[in-house]
Amino acid sequence: MLKEGDTIPAVTLKQMTAEGPTDVPLSDYCKGRKVVIFALPGAFTPTCSESHVPSYIEHAQALRDKGVEAVACVSTADFFVMNAWGKSMGTGEHVDMLADGNAEFTRAAGMTLDLSGFGLGERSQRYVMVLEDGVIKHLAMESDPGSATVSAADAVLAKL
C-alpha cells in the first residue's frame, strides 16, 4: 500500500476529452505541481455523488488558493462512465475525471476493495492523496468506504 513519501506509480489512466479518450500518465499529470487525487468506489453511487465529489467542486477555489494546481477523481469505472458522471455532477474545470477501468492504479496503490458480495466487483477504497511533484505528502483512507470525511475536500484543506 502506498504511504506518505512514496512516488506515485507510473500508471496511465484515461480521460474523455473533446478529441476522444486520452491517455493520462500519472507521473506526467503530477510532475512539477501540487495535485490532489481522490479515489472512490464508484460513479453514480450515493456517497460519491452526494458528498465526496461535491466537496471538491465546492472547495475548488480554496484548494487553488492553497497552491493546488489540479484535482483528479479516480474510479475503477471506464472513461465513458467517468465522463458522463462528471457532466452530471458539473465537475467542469474543477475536477478531472480519470478512469482506472482496469484497476491498474488501484492495484499498484494497494487500494483495492472487494465489493463482489454486493455485485460490484473489485473497486477502489475511498481515499485522498496530496502530491507535490509526484511525491505523496498526505494520504488519508476512509475506515468506512461509505463515508467521506477524512478524504473530503475540507479535510484536505485543513492539511494544506
What residue has cell string 474510479?
75
Catalytic residue among 39, 48, 82, 130: 48
How far is Cα 16 from Cα 48, in angstroms, rounded to an integer?
20
Q: Which helix (H) or strand (E) holds 14?
A: strand 12-17
Which residue type does 145 have?
Answer: P
Helix (H) or strand (E) holding 104: helix 104-109
Task: Specify whether the CB–CB gap between 13 and 147 falls below 8 A.
Answer: no
Residue 84 to residue 43: CA distance in whole angstroms = 9
Q: Say if strands 135-141 and 127-132 run parallel, antiparallel, or are unpaired.
A: antiparallel
Catalytic residue status for 73: no
Indicate left, alpha or beta for 20 from its phi (over 0: left) and psi (-120 to 50: alpha): left
DSSP 62: H
Active site residues: 48
